[in-house]
Amino acid sequence: MDVLVVGAGLAGLHTARLLAQRQRHVMVVDRRRSLSTGIRTTGIFVRRTLDGFDLPDHLLGPGVRDVLLYPPSRRAPIRLTSDRDEYRVADMAAVYEHAHRAAESAGARVLLGVRFDRTSKGLARLVGAEPVKARFIVGADGARSRVASDLGLDVNRRWLVGAEIVHPVASGIATPAFHCVLDPRVAPGYLGWVIDDGRHAHVGIAGYPEAMRTGIRHLLDTFAVDAPGRTAATGPVERRGGPIPVGGVLRRLACPAGLLVGDAAGAVSPLTAGGLDPCLRMAELAASVADDYLRTGDERVLRRYDGNALRSRFRGRLLLRRLFAGIRSPAAAEAAIALLRGRAGRALATRILFGDGSFPDVTSRLADAAPIHM
């Protein structure tokens, strides 16, 4: 086999598909038995991703153009309205199913209920399947990547944790909107959110785990009681959650035995915590580099997959993350929202929330290409 992809999240399935399309012999394993369970994302796709990747329309909810930013008091939110659809929330179970089928149609073999354990004596040891011999391993196994530590590549060390509840809502009652609450009592270092697109509401919080003393589940339930913009559930309530790496893209992402992609590579915007766009963007580069390396056997090819180059374009976002992390009291959060009310503040908030810069382009050649079909 040419490539073993560990992890059938968005990063793994997209990389597998692209490699299989290049006639590589690819196998994907995921420890989950079904890709519609254990979902760890809200599934908000930003305009830049919607413009750059041809996600099938039926997988996406209605466009969201309004963002409301609340201080801890929840009073007098700042409303930012775009003249374009800025966000669409995907049906993630359907997105994974679509990406699964696309990888298989391209020729990749996808095994669910199979966990990668380690490599030894040139074999990848799996739990739930026989060991396999692969020329190259793609670690797409999420924020706590086992592949990264097994191959001696960099591992994520700085985290937020996020949790949310999701439920259907009565359609057409509310205008689609994204409510963001800056309140370090419930979401220390990040935000509480409600996004309601008229079909589903997602109510969530994320923050630094060490500052969430009463536990994230308790904080989420407290936040959800009177979260702004929340409408009543009209169907089953699902819970989601997981770690979010926010230390920026890792430096050492590739070696002759394999490479990392998606959360495993730390490829999440440290500021917005968005990781879906980076999954798709990085998969393009990962597949191209892995294919070139397998074709030529030239280790210099792997230098194109350089975390340092990407990191340098993250400096501003890492700085803003530190400022965000520094908002530790309700008074500081009230003051931060007050700053955003001014002209310069609104311009900054608009740039962060509606801008194109959540994750750098990994290559200009790929970024300039026509929309990429998923």
Ligand X SMILES: Cc1cc2nc3c(=O)[nH]c(=O)nc-3n(C[C@H](O)[C@H](O)[C@H](O)COP(=O)(O)OP(=O)(O)OC[C@H]3O[C@@H](n4cnc5c(N)ncnc54)[C@H](O)[C@@H]3O)c2cc1C
Structure tokens at 290: 């892995």
* Residue closer to ligand X (CB basis): 28 or 340: 28
Report in angstroms how near the CB of residue 2 gets to ligand X at its nearest. 18
Report in angstroms how near the CB of residue 23 gets to ligand X at its nearest. 23
Which amino acid is residue 31, in one-letter code? R
Q: What residues line the site for ligand X (CB under 6 A)?
A: 6-12, 29-32, 40-44, 115-116, 140-142, 146, 162-164, 204, 240-242, 244, 262-264, 268, 273-277, 279
Which amino acid is residue 333, in one-letter code? A
Distance (Å, rounded) from C-alpha 80 to C-alpha 68? 6
For the sheet with 87-90, list strands across it: 44-46, 87-90, 60-64
Distance (Å, rounded) from C-alpha 138 to C-alpha 98? 20
* Residue closer to ligand X (CB basis): 330 or 360: 360
Closest CA to 90 of 200, 194, 245: 200
Strands 136-139 and 258-260: parallel
Report in angstroms how near the CB of residue 14 gets to ligand X at its nearest. 8
* Residue closer to ligand X (CB basis): 152 or 342: 152
Report in angstroms how near the CB of residue 274 gets to ligand X at its nearest. 3
Give Cβ neighbours of residue 238 (< 8 Å, ≥ 6 apart): 39, 165, 166, 167
Q: List helix spans (H) across 297-329.
A: 307-312, 315-325
Distance (Å, rounded) from C-alpha 42 to C-alpha 90? 8
Query: Using CB atoms, what's the residue nearest to ligand X?
Result: 275
* Residue closer to ligand X (CB basis): 60 or 344: 60
DSSP character at residue 215: -
Phi, psi torsion values for 234, nearest 5 degrees: -115, 10
The tokens 């923050």 sit on which residue?
207
Give Cβ neighbours of residue 21 (< 8 Å, ≥ 6 apart): 106, 107
* Residue closer to ligand X (CB basis): 185 or 202: 202
* Residue closer to ligand X (CB basis): 33 or 341: 33
Distance (Å, rounded) from C-alpha 29 to C-alpha 112? 6
* Residue closer to ligand X (CB basis): 91 or 334: 91
Distance (Å, rounded) from C-alpha 55 to C-alpha 98? 10
Report in angstroms how near the CB of residue 82 gets to ligand X at its nearest. 17
* Residue closer to ligand X (CB basis): 182 or 276: 276
Report in angstroms how near the CB of residue 278 gets to ligand X at its nearest. 7
Report in angstroms how near the CB of residue 240 gets to ligand X at its nearest. 6
* Residue closer to ligand X (CB basis): 211 or 347: 211
Helix axes 10-21, 92-105, angle to 10 degrees: 20
Report in angstroms how near the CB of residue 303 gets to ligand X at its nearest. 22
